[in-house]
Amino acid sequence: MPRIEIAPSLLAADFARLAEEVAAVEAAGADWLHLDVMDGRFVPNISFGPLVLRALRPHTRLPFDVHLMIEPVDPFLAEFAAAGADRILIHPESGPHLHRSLQAIRALGKQAGVVLNPATPVEAVAWVLDLVDTVLMMTVNPGFGGQAFLSLQLPKIAAVRAMIAASGRPIRLAVDGGIAPGTAGPAAAAGADTFIAGSAVFGTRDYAHAIAGLRAEATDPARAGLPPAGGKPD
Ligand code: DX5
Ligand code: ZN
DSSP letter at 39 equals B
Looking at ligand 1, which atom is closest to the CA of residue 9?
9
Pocket test for ligand 1, best of 21, 87, 94, 144 (most atoms within 8 A of CB): 144
Question: Comparing C-alpha atoms, which of 145, 133, 49 is closest to residue 87?
Answer: 133
Q: In what order do the strands lie in the sheet with 111-116?
A: 5-8, 194-197, 172-176, 134-138, 111-116, 87-90, 64-69, 33-38
Pocket test for ligand 1, best of 10, 43, 199, 207 (most atoms within 8 A of CB): 199
**Burial 106-145, CB ≥16 within 10 A → b, else e:** eeeebbbbbbbbeebeeebbeebbebbbbbbbbbbebbbb
The pLDDT tens digits for 151-185 are: 999 999 999 999 999 999 999 999 999 999 999 99
Looking at ligand 1, which atom is closest to the CA of residue 178?
14
Q: Is the pLDDT of residue 223 over 90?
A: no
DSSP letter at 4 equals P
Task: Report yes or no: 154 and 229 within 8 Å, Cβ to Cβ.
Answer: yes
Q: How many helices (H) and strands (E) does the chain have?
A: 9, 8
CA 86 to chain centre: 13
Structure-derived torsion over alpha carbons of residues 228, 159, 145, 12, reported in degrees to the nearest 10:
80
CA 135 to chain centre: 9
Say what percent of the chain tops pLDDT 70: 95
Ligand nearest to the CA of 9: 1
Computed over every residue of the chain, the mean pLDDT equals 95
Q: Where are the domains of the chain?
A: 5-219
SS3 label, residue 119: coil
- Ligand 2 centroid–CA 214 distance in Å is 17
The pLDDT tens digits for 98-146 are: 999 999 999 999 999 999 999 999 999 999 999 999 999 999 999 999 9
Grade residue 2 by pLDDT with cuts at 50, 70 and 90.
confident
The pLDDT tens digits for 51-80 are: 999 999 999 999 999 999 999 999 999 999
The set of catalytic residues is: 36, 176
Question: Comparing C-alpha atoms, which of 80, 127, 128, 134 is closest to residue 111?
Answer: 134
Distances (CA, A) of 62 to 39, 132, 147: 24, 21, 26
CATH architecture of 5-219: Alpha-Beta Barrel (3.20)
